[in-house]
Every structure is written in structure tokens, then in C-alpha cells.
Amino acid sequence: METLTYRFDNGTRALPPQPRVIGVVGSGNLEVLIESAPQDGACTIDIKTAAVGFGATWQAVMQDFHERWQLMDASIAINDMGATPAVVSLRLDQAVETMLGAPT
């Protein structure tokens, strides 16, 4: 297992208070827990992944996610079992969409 953490400052969109969890920690899949949490406007992402050595890929996927959604005061936690970036992006978008509605 590998632990990765990311922090993106200066988000603009706040989340509703009710946390959400999407996805399942199964092979090639992941679980995303997304919560509103005060942290100076930042969005933090904590990842525990079974696929070791893909830090650069995660960094890029998370960067793009942040550019799409611009979340502020958001805490995201991920338990991953080797999901591909496509699945990761899909779950993240689903999680946020269930909280905010579809992107504008």
C-alpha cells in the first residue's frame, strides 16, 4: 500500500455539510469519501492505494480534478484497489455531482 496526499489551495466552490461516499474498495475500483471541512479554503486529498509507484499519475489526475471543480474547504479520502485513472476521475466526478449537481 502507498499513501499519497495532495492539497490544492484557493478553491471557490463550497460543499454542503452532508458527507458522501461513492464506490467500492474492490479490484480495479475505489471508494471516495468526500466531506466539507474548514481548511483555509483548501481541498485536501488523502489516498491509500494498493498500486504502488503511481504518484505522478495521481498528481495529474487530482490536478485535473481540481481544475474541473475548484472545491474549497473540502476533505477527500480515497481507498483504492488499483483503479485506472478513468475510473478514479469518474468516481470523483460522481461523488461531487451527487453533492453539487452536474458541472455548469
Residue numbers of the site for other proteins (CB under 8 A)?
1, 19, 21, 24-26, 28-29, 31, 33, 35, 48, 50-51, 54, 56-57, 60-61, 77, 79-82, 84-87, 90, 97, 102
Q: Rounded to the nearest whole angstrom, what is the least distance from the CB of residue 44 to other proteins in the complex?
A: 15
Residue closer to other proteins by CB (options 41, 82) is 82
Q: Rounded to the nearest whole angstrom, what is the least distance from the CB of residue 2 to other proteins in the complex?
A: 10
Amino acid identity, position 81: M
Residue closer to other proteins by CB (options 19, 41) is 19
Residue closer to other proteins by CB (options 26, 38) is 26
Q: Rounded to the nearest whole angstrom, what is the least distance from the CB of residue 33 to other proteins in the complex?
A: 5
3-state secondary structure labels for all residues of the chain: CEEEEEEECCCCECCCCCCEEEECCCCCCEEEEEEECCCCCCEEEEEEECCCCCHHHHHHHHHHHHHHHCECCEEEEEEECCCCHHHHHHHHHHHHHHHHCCCC
